[in-house]
Amino acid sequence: MKPVILRGSLPATLCPFRPDFSVDEEAFASHVRWLVDASKGGGVVCNGHAGEVASLTRKERKRVVEVAVSEARGKAPVVAGVYTDSPPEAVEFARDAEASGANAILLFPPPVFGGGGNRIESMVLRFAQSVASSVGIGVVIFQFPIAGLGYPTELLLRLMEIPNIVGVNEGSDHLPTFERNLRAIKKARPEVSVLTTNNTMLFSSTALGADGILSGSGSVVADLHAELFEALQRGDLRAARAVNDRIWPLTQVFYCDPPVNMHNRMKVALEYLGRQPKAVVRPPLQPLGEDERARIIRGVQDAGLWQAGEAGSRSETDYSAVAAAV
């Protein structure tokens, strides 16, 4: 297996679309370049929920990985999501990612596991083993809340027996569960990276000892995630709290109800900041209304991104009236 170290800020990319809903490769390339620099080389994760992976064809998923690898230029590892209900298709997606140059795959539990399959050991292990053994790169297990698609701690430890597991994207969204899984994984396999994706508790879960932050909100604030991680690593709680105070208003506007629009909201933030063209999502998702767009703009401003000079003059002109109305 090719070695890969996953540590620090690992933003999950958004996938820009043109008005005709085709993938905007130029905008995506620009997005990846910014993320590589902003994350300080922690890593770039593509073809995840943030990238609207369920709407992408096999050809589009492969091309997304190719562009990400090309733009990362070896400065940061690229992790490619594998998301499907079909085990044979999961193997195909994993092999496509490897062939496209990805350093690891992020293995999503099939949606069918939501029917209780996440607690059936033979079902979980056969699926993960079949995909992991089909490639020679690392595998990151995606851990969801146990009430949804998440694995019980004992089953998560069985998954750690797969040789090329290099990480766990730990999204239990329950701090005691996160800590229990973190401790259990590190005891069984200290070299496996435990990455927090618990967006409502990034500060606390990172402080407990997470090896990094893998988050869709990193598509907007990969730099702040890197700063938060570094501050906690050196034990500087004052600095970490200050960074967390900037992240907090974005957490409130991105991860509110309904959750289906969380990445839609992030696209609006990037549009406002001038880092991406007009926010376009693929159906069945729909454009956000002006009231919600205004709340997102206020969250971006409250986070200090505008004051930090990150927005372009085009965005200032387009959004000044909307922001003033908040």
pLDDT in tens, 13-23: 999 999 999 99
**Distance between CA atoms of 304 and 176, rounded to whole angstroms?**
31
Phi, psi angles (nearest 5°) of residue 34: -65, -45
Place of tokens 């606390």: 204
How high is the pLDDT of residue 307?
A: 52
pLDDT at residue 157, as a whole number: 98
Kindly give the residue spans of alpha helices, DSSP state H, lying in the chain. 25-38, 58-72, 87-99, 121-132, 153-159, 175-188, 202-207, 218-233, 237-254, 262-272, 290-302, 313-324
Position 228, amino acid: L
278: exposed, middle or buried (Cβ count in 10 Å: 0-12, 13-18, 19+):
middle
Residue scoring higher pLDDT (76 or 316):
76
- Tokens 């973190």, residue? 182
pLDDT at 142 exceeding the cut of 80: yes
CB 97 within 8 A of CB 82: yes
Model pLDDT, residue 188:
98
**pTM of this structure:** 0.93
- pLDDT confidence band for 318 (50 / 70 / 90): very low
pLDDT: is 100 or 148 the higher one? 100
User: ∠ CA 216-221-224 to the nearest 5 degrees?
Assistant: 125
- Which residue bears the tokens 């090309």? 70
Q: What is the mean pLDDT of residues 242-255?
A: 98
Query: Does the pLDDT at position 324 exceed 60?
Result: no
Q: Single out the residue of 211, 244, 265, 236 nearest to residue 43, CA to CA.
A: 211
Cis bond leading into 258, ω under 30°?
yes
**How large is the average pLDDT for residues 22-47?**
98
The tens digit of pLDDT for each residue in 80-93 reads: 999 999 999 999 99
Instruction: Tell me which residue has tokens 């001038």.
Output: 274
pLDDT of residue 262: 97
Report yes or no: 39 and 219 within 8 Å, Cβ to Cβ. no
Q: What does the alpha-carbon distance between residue 72 and residue 33 come to, in Å, rounded to a whole number?
A: 7
- Gyration radius from the chain CA atoms: 19
Gap between the Cα atoms of 195 and 142, Å rounded: 10
CA-CA distance, 165 to 159, in Å (whole number)? 8
CA atoms of 72 and 115, how far apart (whole Å):
38
Whether the pLDDT of residue 221 is over 50: the answer is yes
Query: Quick check: 11 pLDDT over 80?
Result: yes
Task: Write the pLDDT tens digit of every residue in 113-122.
Answer: 999 999 999 9
Beta bridge partners of 105: 80, 139
Average predicted confidence (pLDDT) for the chain:
94
First to last CA, the chain: 52
> What share of the chain has pLDDT > 70, as a percent?
94
**Tell me, what's the pLDDT at 314?**
38
Residues 6+ apart with CB under 8 A from 234: none
Contact call for residues 170 and 195 (beta carbons, < 8 A): yes
Residue 4 has pLDDT above 70, yes or no: yes
Architecture of domain 8-247 in CATH? Alpha-Beta Barrel (3.20)
Could you read off the pLDDT of 267-314 as tens digits, one per residue? 999 999 999 999 999 999 999 999 999 999 999 999 999 755 444 433
Q: Domain residues of the chain, as ranges?
A: 8-247
Read off the pLDDT band of 1 (50, 70, 90): confident
